[in-house]
Chain A
Amino acid sequence: MIYAVFAPILFAIVIPFLSRMKHKIHTGWLILPVPLLVFIYFVSFVGSGFESQVSNYSWIPSLDISLSFHLDGLSLLFALLISGIGSLVVLYSIYYLDREERLGHFYTYLYIFMTAMLGVVLSDNVFALYAFWEFTSLSSFLLIGYWHFKERSRYGAIKSLLITVSGGFSLLAGLISLTIVTGTTSIREMVGQADVILESSFFPLILIFLLLGAFTKSAQFPFHIWLPDAMEAPTPVSAYLHSATMVKAGIYLMARFSAIFGGEPSFFVLLSLFGIITLVCGSYMAVRQTDLKAILAYSTISQLGMIMAMLGFGTDIAIFAAVFHILNHATFKGSLFMIAGIVDHETGTRDIRKLGGLMTFMPMSATLALFGTFSMAGVPLPFLNGFYSKEMFFDASLQLSGYAGTFVEVLATVLPYLAVIGSIFTFVYSMYLFFGTFRGKYKEEQLPVKPHEAPFMMLLSPIILVVGVIVIGLFPSLFNNGLLTHAADAVFGAEVTKEISFWHGFIPPLYMSLAVVALGTVLYLTKTSWEKVYTIIPGNFSFNRIYDWGVNQLEAASNRITFTYMNGSLRLYMILLLASVTTITGTVLFISDGINFEVSDVAPVTVHEVLIAIVMAIAAVATIFVTNRIAAILVVGVVGYGLAILFVLYSAPDLALTQLIVETVTVALFLLCFYHLPNLTKRTESIAHRGMNALISVGFGALMLVISISAYNSQFFSTISDYFTENAYKLGGGDNIVNVILVDFRGMDTLFEVSVLFGAGLAIYSLIRLRKNKGAK
């Protein structure tokens, strides 16, 4: 099974080489066998005697992450859709994409996506599932932005990436929580521990996280906004990713986990509510669109909402209907996208206002579109598969009982009505799509290209899909035993058997279907007179505006914040640094009770030391106020020499010596630099600024004072200096203990101190001598 999953991505490695001969033979032909073989491999499992298969491949055993694939009915259905429609899309793209396009890129992205999608539906390990999940987001991003020179493509690609990846992170959080609660990373074992998960206090979080992941991926309300913008992708991509496969990943996820969550009122409420809202809003908004692909995008959103709602219902008939509709939707929506692509290809526009009367020019496409749109609308005819799943949807919505609780009961009562409303709009846009494009007045002057029928090979893929529509329509129970019941069993967790037939007698679902057709026809015929309602609802409101506003605000706000504190002024950074050091250290000192002013064992105070200290303090303060540079260096010198005298008084002859020399040389250096530097200027700063500086410096000084006094008494260990004193002569052979420490006990310090001086010397030399820019002095 691992070969089937990884075949496309492995083959993607050679695609760039194959695409070099694209002028001799279209790259698509060379790689078409791959998804076809994968499809044949999965077809071999179909049959009434299907048993679920497991195969394990080690990946990161220490973290319990493995590439374990579990093929059950649900995975099989999805794998067949992915590989089957994948083959058709590759076939279609051979005629859709010109050889001048970057074919290597296109097919590489597409095959990465194919592997990722197969991985999502087959993975049993949650982390492997997540890895594949993100690969679908990334390859979708690449495919949407395929024509990267178009601004809209880039916008759509980034939008879809932002939304699906943020949902993906939420999914990851949910999967990690699930792993923590159950202690396993395998979905099958999690299903076995369903009651543990339901009783866990993490349960609400897990549910929300997983729902966010599924809703963003499957374009559910209010995260649907990325899907219409993803229509900037080439049409084969829209047909494949954004109708048949990727957008169903969220559906798959919910179906996969409904064995755990099914029957839980919160799961029912959230899934059904958002699903039905998506259904109604999506179909309502679809009627308003003028672009063929935009109509189809909103239609996809609404159909996905319908499937999501059925998964939420959780009854056996609803689950079966959901699985059935996944299959049906893939057939008719895939074909409709391809037809839209053909119309675009042959007339040069997708704007439905410019199209019309194409039936005579494109009879084949028109026929295919007729079947596709009527099936999508759920017209009650015995050769259209959309009708069956729609009627089962009505049936399921009527059979919601067994849920207690006020809100849940209200929702269960309202759901059938909402379902009918959503279906009416579905009917309207389906009719609009067909009649608006192929019937009506032919507007020759508005079309960029004179329309003509597409080549047969381009029509082959939609033909195959429409044949699927009709075959399922004529023999609705054809796939039941081999495929659909297995899939429904896997979702429901128990045996589901269902025979589908066209005629059930005069029962409520039939009346609902008839009402949809009747009201839908009326609404379609009067469309021009009620279209103004869109200026009121939704009017100017749209989630796109919220998204754009949010992204802009986020950028603006982070820019503002960054430029507030990163203004390029070193002084500001100094202030921030010192202020935070002072406050943090001070707070820690205060909290940890480290302040201690009781000092014992101090040396006696003598007069000449006090005098020197006073002189030094005055000199130090004077550095702030002098404005003459010679005076400034003199007062700094006073501090340095005062320190040297203190070293003398405190029995440190070597220090005193060094300090005197260094101070002298430093003063000399200062004087040298003065020749080149301007004089000190008067301060021109505001009082507030000066007060701020004063506050920080006084605060820092006070902090150091507190630290030094508090630390003075806290000598927890005896000093090691006695060792140096005792052994200076014995081990080092010298009388001067400080010098012995410097060159013998701790000679390493001295070595590197010497290299610091050396480095400073080199740096000074190069600063003065090396001029990269000869123009500058």
Chain B
Amino acid sequence: MEILMAILASILFATAIYNLLQKQFLRIIIGTVLLSHAAHLFLLTMGKLKRGNPPVLVEGVTNYADPLPQALILTSIVISFGVTSFLLVLAYRTYTLNKSDNMDELRGSSDE
């Protein structure tokens, strides 16, 4: 199962990167969202899958799934959510100011 999940994660990585390399701001944001999904899946897979019950202590059960990767992913999900929402608003502001969402047109001014 881990192999399969690794393959899925790398497909997500590949599609995320392809989206990141596009011109439109919206596609780039979609790329970042996919990239964080891929990273989360990657983290979970590396912590080994299906090794027991959900990590909530129950009397008599000794076999639990690894709780540490889950805690890490939880933190990461929240952070990437913050970044994604910021990016979306940034895209909105950029578009209203520059009337363009094409990355090739959004270059720095020449006197930088």
Given contacts A678-B101, A681-B24, A737-B56, 11 further A-B contacts (CB under 8 A): A602-B2, A621-B15, A655-B70, A693-B18, A705-B7, A708-B42, A725-B55, A742-B74, A753-B75, A756-B79, A757-B81
Contact among B30, B41, B68 for A721, CB-based, below 8 A = B68
CA distance in complex: A702, B13 (Å)? 9
Of the candidate stretches A416-424, A466-474, A482-490, A669-677, the one touching chain B is A669-677
A653→B56 contact, CB < 8 A: yes
CA distance in complex: A693, B20 (Å)? 9
Q: Is A658 an interface residue (CB 8 A)?
A: yes
* Chain B residues, Cβ within 8 Å of A617: 8, 11-12
B89→A712 contact, CB < 8 A: no
Could you show 29 A-B contacts with beta carbons less than 8 Å apart? Answer: A571-B22, A602-B1, A602-B3, A603-B2, A603-B49, A620-B34, A624-B18, A633-B30, A639-B37, A650-B50, A651-B55, A653-B54, A666-B81, A669-B85, A673-B89, A677-B92, A680-B24, A685-B23, A701-B15, A702-B14, A704-B42, A712-B46, A725-B67, A736-B56, A741-B71, A760-B82, A761-B82, A763-B86, A776-B96
Closest 8 CB pairs of A and B: A701-B14, A760-B82, A697-B17, A568-B107, A705-B10, A651-B65, A697-B18, A603-B50
* Chain A residues, Cβ within 8 Å of B103: 569-571
How far in angstroms is the closest Cβ of chain A from B25?
A: 7
Q: Is A728 an interface residue (CB 8 A)?
A: yes
- Per-residue CB proximity of B27-68 to A under 8 Å, as 1/0? 101100110011011101110111111111110000011111
Q: Is A696 an interface residue (CB 8 A)?
A: yes
How far in angstroms is the closest Cβ of chain A from B78?
A: 5
CA distance in complex: A666, B82 (Å)? 10
Q: Is A525 an interface residue (CB 8 A)?
A: no
A636→B8 contact, CB < 8 A: no
Q: Is A750 an interface residue (CB 8 A)?
A: yes
* Chain B residues, Cβ within 8 Å of A662: 77-78, 81
Of residues 563 to 592 in A, which have CB atoms within 8 Å of B's CB atoms?
568-571, 574-575, 578
Contact among B3, B73, B96, B107 for A676, CB-based, below 8 A = B96
CA distance in complex: A639, B73 (Å)? 16
B41→A643 contact, CB < 8 A: yes
* Chain B residues, Cβ within 8 Å of A760: 82-83, 85-86
* Chain B residues, Cβ within 8 Å of A655: 44, 70, 73-74, 77
A737→B64 contact, CB < 8 A: yes
How far in angstroms is the closest Cβ of chain A from B103?
A: 6
Cβ-closest chain A residue relative to B20: A574
CA distance in complex: A759, B83 (Å)? 10
A651→B13 contact, CB < 8 A: no
B54→A651 contact, CB < 8 A: yes
- Per-residue CB proximity of A739-774 to B under 8 Å, as 1/0? 001100010011001001101110110011000000
CA distance in complex: A606, B50 (Å)? 11
CA distance in complex: A515, B101 (Å)? 84
A764→B20 contact, CB < 8 A: no
Cβ-closest chain B residue relative to A728: B57
CA distance in complex: A681, B82 (Å)? 27
Of the candidate stretches A65-73, A375-383, A608-616, the one touching chain B is A608-616
Of residues 399 to 413 in A, which have CB atoms within 8 Å of B's CB atoms?
none
* Chain B residues, Cβ within 8 Å of A678: 95, 101
B46→A708 contact, CB < 8 A: yes
B67→A568 contact, CB < 8 A: no
Q: Known interface pairs A651-B53, A711-B46. Does A767 touch B89 (Cβ–Cβ under 8 Å)?
A: yes
Q: Known interface pairs A624-B18, A677-B95. Does A639 touch B101 (Cβ–Cβ under 8 Å)?
A: no
CA distance in complex: A720, B73 (Å)? 17
Contact-size category for A: 35 or more
Q: Is A652 an interface residue (CB 8 A)?
A: yes
Which of B20, B44, B70, B104 has most chain A Cβ within 10 Å? B70
A756→B82 contact, CB < 8 A: yes
A666→B67 contact, CB < 8 A: no
CA distance in complex: A305, B2 (Å)? 79
B89→A768 contact, CB < 8 A: yes
Contact among A698, A705, A750, A763 for B75, CB-based, below 8 A = A750
Q: Is A102 an interface residue (CB 8 A)?
A: no
Of residues 57 to 79 in A, which have CB atoms within 8 Å of B's CB atoms?
none
A697→B54 contact, CB < 8 A: no
How far in angstroms is the closest Cβ of chain A from B108?
A: 6
Contact among A604, A658, A737, A768 for B78, CB-based, below 8 A = A658
CA distance in complex: A570, B102 (Å)? 11
CA distance in complex: A281, B74 (Å)? 79
CA distance in complex: A114, B86 (Å)? 62
CA distance in complex: A697, B38 (Å)? 13
CA distance in complex: A735, B57 (Å)? 5
Q: Is A549 an interface residue (CB 8 A)?
A: no
A738→B96 contact, CB < 8 A: no
B66→A721 contact, CB < 8 A: yes
* Chain B residues, Cβ within 8 Å of A647: 44
* Chain A residues, Cβ within 8 Å of B73: 652, 655
Contact among A575, A681, A712 for B2, CB-based, below 8 A = A712
* Chain A residues, Cβ within 8 Å of B24: 680-681
B85→A712 contact, CB < 8 A: no
- Per-residue CB proximity of A628-643 to B under 8 Å, as 1/0? 0100110010011001
A776→B57 contact, CB < 8 A: no
Q: Is A555 an interface residue (CB 8 A)?
A: no
CA distance in complex: A299, B10 (Å)? 74
Q: Is A623 an interface residue (CB 8 A)?
A: yes
How far in angstroms is the closest Cβ of chain B from A752?
A: 9
Q: Known interface pairs A652-B44, A676-B95. Does A735 touch B56 (Cβ–Cβ under 8 Å)?
A: yes
Q: Known interface pairs A569-B107, A753-B78. Does A696 touch B21 (Cβ–Cβ under 8 Å)?
A: yes
* Chain A residues, Cβ within 8 Å of B86: 760, 763-764
* Chain A residues, Cβ within 8 Å of B27: 632, 680
Contact among A698, A711, A741, A767 for B68, CB-based, below 8 A = A741
A632→B30 contact, CB < 8 A: yes
